[in-house]
């Protein structure tokens, strides 16, 4: 979709509340180059940066915070190295760590996946949410693998079932195609919504999205 630094600057100028940047390859050897990119973005953007992909240790998180991240996003390590959640939370505060959960439906149940969506994890969503909360996660991001990029709306069924049981702020991701999809997510319990294709493939921007939500009674974040 183009240069991440220039794109980030555009979204920052268009009043995005937060930018989430994920190294989707998650390879250890990519971290140095990724850190350099984050440093460039942090130097020209003035909104909080949430950064993830390949974080396996507190040291990896330290490096990203040093590069300019305000929060880190952890997915794979939250399953098998979950003490990293506590370590990051204790050092930087629980507000500085987001647990990202990739899932798809199978036989009427949400199945969780790690390693960039390539490995199914043998744990229920309910248990993983409980474990993440106990370890100190500050936010949860639910990412529908099946809806990602389709622009047909968020997974409201899962959102309605999970939102009442999750104390931490919850970000819905995967499926936004128009502003009404954002409104539906908020009305069904989301605390925040993540958008990619909505802005990349249409004549939309965060300013217009936030104006639509505000006009429909959704309280908009203020810095």
Q: Residue 170's closest CA among 192, 185, 153?
A: 192
CA–CA distance, 192 with 188 (Å, rounded to integer): 11
pLDDT digits (tens, 9 = 90+) for 83-96: 999 999 999 999 99
Contact indicator for 128, 120 with CB cutoff of 8 Å: no
Non-local CB neighbours of 46 within 8 Å, separated by 6+ positions: 12
pTM: 0.94
CA–CA distance, 53 with 55 (Å, rounded to integer): 6
Of the ranges 28-32, 77-81, 146-150, 215-219, which one carries the lowest mean pLDDT score? 28-32
| pLDDT category of residue 1 using cuts at 50, 70 and 90 | confident
| pLDDT category of residue 222 using cuts at 50, 70 and 90 | low
pLDDT at 189: 96
Give percent of the chain with pLDDT exceeding 90. Answer: 88
pLDDT digits (tens, 9 = 90+) for 41-58: 999 998 999 999 989 999
| pLDDT category of residue 27 using cuts at 50, 70 and 90 | low
Longest dimension (CA), the chain: 46
| Counts of helices then strands in the chain (DSSP H, E) | 10, 9
CA–CA distance, 13 with 60 (Å, rounded to integer): 29
Instruction: Return the higher-pLDDT residue of 201 and 223.
Output: 201
Non-local CB neighbours of 10 within 8 Å, separated by 6+ positions: none
Distances (CA, A) of 180 to 65, 116, 154, 174, 187: 34, 29, 10, 14, 10
Give percent of the chain with pLDDT exceeding 70. Answer: 97
Kindly report the average pLDDT of the chain as a whole number: 94
pLDDT at 26: 65
Q: In the predicted model, what is the mean pLDDT of residues 164-180?
A: 96
Q: Residue 45's closest CA among 19, 72, 73?
A: 19
| pLDDT category of residue 28 using cuts at 50, 70 and 90 | low
Of the ranges 135-139, 158-162, 218-222, which one carries the lowest mean pLDDT score? 218-222
Burial of 89 (0-12, 13-18, 19+ CB in 10 A): middle
CA–CA distance, 137 with 134 (Å, rounded to integer): 8
Question: Token pair for residue 177?
Answer: 């195609």
- pLDDT above 70: residue 183: yes
pLDDT at 211: 96
pLDDT at 24: 83
Distances (CA, A) of 55 to 24, 34, 189: 11, 12, 29
pLDDT at 220: 87
- pLDDT above 70: residue 29: no
DSSP 111: E
CA–CA distance, 130 with 167 (Å, rounded to integer): 10
Q: In the predicted model, what is the mean pLDDT of residues 124-153?
A: 96
Beta strand 109-114 with 119-120: parallel, antiparallel or unpaired? antiparallel
């Amino acid at each position: 979709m183009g240069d991440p630094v220039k794109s980030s600057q555009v979204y920052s100028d268009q009043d995005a509340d937060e930018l989430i940047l994920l190294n989707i390859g998650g390879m250890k050897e990519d971290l140095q180059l990724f850190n350099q990119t984050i440093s460039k973005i942090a130097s020209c953007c003035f909104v909080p940066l949430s950064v993830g992909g390949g974080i396996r240790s507190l040291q990896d998180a330290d490096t990203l915070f040093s590069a300019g991240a305000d929060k880190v996003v952890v997915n794979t390590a939250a399953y098998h190295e979950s003490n990293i959640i506590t370590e990051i939370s204790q050092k930087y505060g629980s507000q500085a760590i987001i647990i990202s959960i990739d899932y798809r439906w199978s036989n009427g149940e949400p199945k969780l996946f790690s390693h960039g969506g390539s490995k199914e994890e043998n744990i229920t969503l309910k248990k993983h949410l409980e474990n993440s909360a106990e370890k100190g996660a500050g936010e949860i991001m639910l990412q529908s693998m099946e809806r990602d990029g389709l622009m047909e709306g968020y997974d409201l069924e899962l959102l309605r079932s999970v939102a009442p049981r999750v104390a931490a702020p919850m970000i819905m991701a995967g499926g936004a195609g128009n502003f009404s999809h954002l409104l539906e997510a908020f009305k069904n319990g989301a605390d925040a919504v993540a958008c990619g294709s909505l802005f990349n493939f249409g004549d939309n921007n965060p300013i217009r999205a936030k104006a639509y939500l505000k006009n429909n009674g959704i309280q908009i974040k203020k810095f």
